[in-house]
Structure 1
């Protein structure tokens, strides 16, 4: 429910015609709401072309049904906020290490929300950016990328100079408290639809995300809940928990619940239009389409008390739990997972020693992980609806997988 004074962006000069640049007006409305002690910044029906929006404490950004917030393309109209300088970023890629170069961002804010039945269209966002400079150990990239030509890698990992003025995230939050993101539709959102780093007391609910790279990334969050979300990400992870060093320190991911969500790897845009197309067979890492729920691979900090319940995987990789950078993963409980058209391993648990971190980083641990009430089948499956169990068709699964699922 919305409460507080409403600041209509049209009263601050927004046109909503999809042609004029409206981010100056929207930012002016945000500042007016902040000055008033808080309030609702309203985008009524219309098409709002925008560069970076800077969300402030006690401000709700409300995108009404019929309103579309469109990420502008860098060029004659302007550019996105520059990636902030945070010192050497040795262990994470560019996308995990910056927040200001986004369509909507907040840092150090409290009691904020982004909600409504409207849409965010990341038209002008890029999914690319530089990789990590860390190169101590071979195998930084997946084995499936080992034979990829340098030119193809260059397309995925553009230089830092090329990223100046570009936006590569729809929503980015750093060091925020008491945050809600609800009911929105997000399309083609760049590197991340949502990147939340060290965010406490975080609720993400009722979202429909259909995007060209990661969906919802929760990096070192505490007391978070993701529920009733549909996330289609053929090229990367759908919902993923991480504990990276993006903010320059080791921190944990604790007390997180993911429930009643569906992740998938259908062709981009076809979850939203309902056609659920299956033309794309592989993601940019040259393995099968992704779309999964995952813990890791960024795992410098610990993961504790994680619950994953009543979720559905459709034409995607399965549940992955991976500690490779020194973190401990413990007290994980997953139940009632339905997997249809699993593209790789239904369950993948890995304790490894990539050790992408400061000198002295040692392997972590995995303990007290329980997975029960789970069913999965290969790419001949029926459509999963309303989290019902699929037909018991396991003839295409590896014998070890059949045994693992009790089939």
Structure 2
């Protein structure tokens, strides 16, 4: 499959033409030079030319050929015996030996929090299930984490690593969070304790309360993530199936060099995002399938004042050959993006296909969201060759009015491209929901075909907006 429209040979051909132009007669030289320079400038402006450089920096970690079987450390795969200590012992032994594989053999291994260490590949073999406890006390003591974009101390995620390097979760087995069977859903439901804790944490972030004083955990109701890597580098997740988180599923925070390959993520609980790269750079998500009750992939970088305080963007993220059956966005950016987001590339993905349909129709294949409270910026989201069917709302949805939250910061969404999308069945093809005070800048949609659209496009305030060779219900739409 062709990944970039510009090859090295074609670039050198144009560059050579430009150089050769200096040898021609003056009248011809000026014309040829201008044409060559214009062509080169056009090639340089293609954002997809940056992808090979990003991918060259993303290198999955390698591990010594040592194996540490959790059953050698006392684990019992009967689905009843709690194996938290056995997992910890095997991981500790592997790390102290200089790294290798911690093997989870076939069976059902119940456990509390698993804390990964450097140079450890947690390898869950086919036929093995890591079954996470439904007792919140098994995720104590509290750890430094980020909860919906605000730093705090809270329950450990089910799998957690802080400040580690060269980490992996691999194998054809399953991580089962039992999210719908534990207490987690009741925490969020009306009458549960999460809304009050959520409001208190956001107040702390807004007022700049020191992070060490933002302590939740026991007696509180902020649901833990399923898998969180915090300030880690050189991470691989491959082949694994991740089921039923308590909340967000895979959450790398302040990480670098991350690969997710051929991972299935399935969750039914509210806010069960598939993967949330937050303040993370150089990440590849490829061949993954997401069937969630929220965004499949949501790129983030912190919320409001606390995100601005940390001030680290998410950048250089590449998504390829994935399937999105999530309830909300396929590829989403925001809304917690106060540290900024730039250079997100997504291509060759399928939305709600017949061979992997959602329980409910997804809402937006492309969902880019901020408001005037967030601050930060979204600069450079590029999507091409998405195909899909039967969604509830809009195929391309950009909004600077997310959740109607008010503030006085600029709401910045700029440099967005959507190319070669083919979709059948939606409310509308394009919805650009902007503000007169904060228009979109540099939105370009081209060579797309939308059928079965119920309503016309909505085009909000924008500068440098172009729509070219876009067909909606058989009629070409051009802007301006």
Shorter-chain TM-score bucket reads 0.7 to 0.9
Partner of 2:389: 340
Partner of 2:253: 197
Structure 1, residues 347-402: CA drift from partner, whole Å, max 9, x if none? Answer: 11123488989xx972142222111101222269xxxxxxxxxxx77234312279
The alpha-carbon deviation at position 238 of structure 1 amounts to 1.1
Residues 291/302 of structure 1: CA separation in 2 closer, same or farther (3 Å cut): closer
Residues 41/99 of structure 1: CA separation in 2 closer, same or farther (3 Å cut): farther
Give the 4+ runs in structure 1 shifted more than 6 A: 353-357, 401-404
Residues 1:131 and 2:213 are matched in the alignment? no
- Picking from 444, 450, 457, the partner of 1:400 is 457
The structure with the largest alpha-carbon Rg is 2
Contact 2:450 2:471 in 1 (8 A): no
Partner of 2:320: 259
The alpha-carbon deviation at position 297 of structure 1 amounts to 0.5
Partner of 1:388: none
Residues 179/361 of structure 1: CA separation in 2 closer, same or farther (3 Å cut): farther
Provide TM-score, normalisation by structure 2.
0.65
Residues 105/99 of structure 1: CA separation in 2 closer, same or farther (3 Å cut): farther
Once residues 132 and 198 of structure 1 are traced to their aligned partners in structure 2, the CA distance between those partners, rounded to angstroms, is 24
State how 1:39-78 maps to structure 2 within 5 Å.
Answer: 39-74=100-135
The alpha-carbon deviation at position 339 of structure 1 amounts to 2.4
Partner of 1:108: 163
Partner of 2:175: 120
The alpha-carbon deviation at position 253 of structure 1 amounts to 0.6
Once residues 4 and 304 of structure 1 are traced to their aligned partners in structure 2, the CA distance between those partners, rounded to angstroms, is 38
Once residues 160 and 142 of structure 2 are traced to their aligned partners in structure 1, the CA distance between those partners, rounded to angstroms, is 11
Residues 99/227 of structure 1: CA separation in 2 closer, same or farther (3 Å cut): farther
Residues 1:224 and 2:283 are matched in the alignment? yes
Once residues 330 and 262 of structure 1 are traced to their aligned partners in structure 2, the CA distance between those partners, rounded to angstroms, is 24
Once residues 398 and 354 of structure 1 are traced to their aligned partners in structure 2, the CA distance between those partners, rounded to angstroms, is 22
- Picking from 63, 80, 85, the partner of 2:139 is 80
Structure 1, residues 10-69: CA drift from partner, whole Å, max 9, x if none? Answer: 110001111111111011000011111111110011110000011001111000000000
State how 1:150-165 maps to structure 2 within 5 Å.
Answer: 162-163=219-220
Contact 2:232 2:256 in 1 (8 A): yes
Contact 1:203 1:224 in 2 (8 A): yes
Partner of 2:350: 312
Residues 22/297 of structure 1: CA separation in 2 closer, same or farther (3 Å cut): same
Partner of 1:23: 84
Contact 2:94 2:120 in 1 (8 A): yes
Once residues 336 and 149 of structure 2 are traced to their aligned partners in structure 1, the CA distance between those partners, rounded to angstroms, is 14
Structure 1, residues 180-223: CA drift from partner, whole Å, max 9, x if none? Answer: 01111111111111111111000011011111221111111100
> Unaligned stretches of 5+ in structure 1?
137-158, 266-288, 381-391
- Picking from 299, 302, 305, the partner of 2:337 is 299
Once residues 301 and 393 of structure 1 are traced to their aligned partners in structure 2, the CA distance between those partners, rounded to angstroms, is 34
Return the structure number with greater relative CO, CA threshold 8 A, min gap 6. Answer: 1
Once residues 167 and 301 of structure 2 are traced to their aligned partners in structure 1, the CA distance between those partners, rounded to angstroms, is 23
Contact 1:93 1:132 in 2 (8 A): no
Partner of 1:378: 425
RMSD (Å) for aligned C-alpha atoms? 3.1
Q: Which structure has the highest helix share of the two?
A: 2
Contact 1:207 1:228 in 2 (8 A): yes
Once residues 248 and 168 of structure 2 are traced to their aligned partners in structure 1, the CA distance between those partners, rounded to angstroms, is 18
Partner of 1:215: 274
The alpha-carbon deviation at position 96 of structure 1 amounts to 7.0
- Picking from 376, 380, 399, the partner of 1:331 is 380
Partner of 2:3: none
